[in-house]
Amino acid sequence: MSAKILDGKWVREQILAELRPRVAKLTASHRPPGLAVVLVGNDPASEIYVRGKTKACGDLGIYSEKITPPATISTGDLLGIIEGLNQRSEIDGILVQVPLPKQVDSRRVLLAVKPDKDVDGFHPMNVGSLVANIPAPRACTPAGIIELLRRYEIPIAGKKAVVIGRSDIVGKPIALLLLHQSATVTICHSKTSNLAEECRRADILVAAIGKPRLVTREFIRPGAVVIDVGQNRGPDGKGLVGDVDAEAALELASAYTPVPGGVGPLTIAMLMANTVAAAEQHLCCG
């Protein structure tokens, strides 16, 4: 068997194409959607991510603003910045790029973002909405995975899904989203015994671990759909390597998201989608 490649760039272009008329309509009738990105300090990886996000905004006609406090900022001063953004009516979404410096209380910062401007979907109130399956901003990477499965018409209901990883950013939310789509979901983590055996039960296997090629052929049931969320540095410190052994996935899976080019491109697209949806809420119903 040779797996069908699930192309995240193709899905991203579809999502962005659908957002364009919505942005145009908002801009013509009110104002463009607005996203504020708070980038504390100058972590090179964070700078690259933020550049990608502001570029996507520019391409779509979304207003974006970058706020760059120094790495030495206190929790109080950062909370002041967030509060200022909460108050500004032309800002629909606030994104605080993580990781934050050690002296900053990340939890307090996360809680300070108004839930209706939390386009990352990380605020506990939005996490509660996810658990209860109530509409609210959803975490971008997991929401992107669901979009990818939907647009490739991969059935979820009734399927056995195994998620490796239980982070708040990927593992837990994707498990809940799959559950809401009526998959039978197992969540695995570093303390799971017989990990490969658990994974071999999966019709849909999601790897969100952060360990290069941890998922080998023993983990993959022939015909499974394999979603590789991992974005690890290559052995030479360059390039991106997934959590899944690509060769094994290509040989055994029925469909597979490569790294790079699979899940990666969807995160920013869903951030744009969350920002546009927030603007629609604020301008039409807020």
Cβ 191 to ligand NAP, closest distance in Å?
5
Distances (CA, A) of 284 to 30, 138, 143, 226, 277: 9, 20, 23, 39, 10
Which position among 116, 120, 228, 243 bears the catalytic label? 120
Closest contact distance (angstroms) between CB of 192 and ligand NAP is 6
Q: Which of 262, 265, 52 shows the shortest CA–CA distance to 140?
A: 265
Three-state DSSP class for residue 278: helix
| Of residues 159-188, those binding ligand NAP (CB under 6 A) | 164-167, 169-171, 188
Binding flags for ligand NAP, 198-237, as an x/- string (CB under 6 A): ----------xxxx--x--------------xxxx-----
Q: Is-catalytic flag, 97? A: yes
Q: Select 57 or 170, whichever has its Cβ closest to ligand NAP.
A: 170
- CB burial string 58-84: b at 16+ within 10 A, e below: eebebbbbbbebeeebebeebbebbee
Task: Please identify which of the residues 97, 159, 228, 243 carries the catalytic annotation.
Answer: 97
Strand partners, 188: 164
46 lies in the site for ligand NAP, by CB under 6 A: no
| Chosen residue from 191, 236, 237, 285 binding ligand NAP by CB under 6 A | 191
Quick note: the x/- pattern for ligand NAP over 113-142, rule CB under 6 A, is ----------------------------x-
Instruction: Read off the amino acid at residue 90.
Output: E
Q: Would you say the C-alpha torsion 11, 12, 17, 19 has a positive or negative sign?
A: positive
- Distance CA(122)–CA(115), nearest Å, equals 9
User: What residues make contact with ligand NAP under the rule CB under 6 A?
Assistant: 141, 164-167, 169-171, 188-192, 195, 208-211, 214, 229-232, 263-264, 267
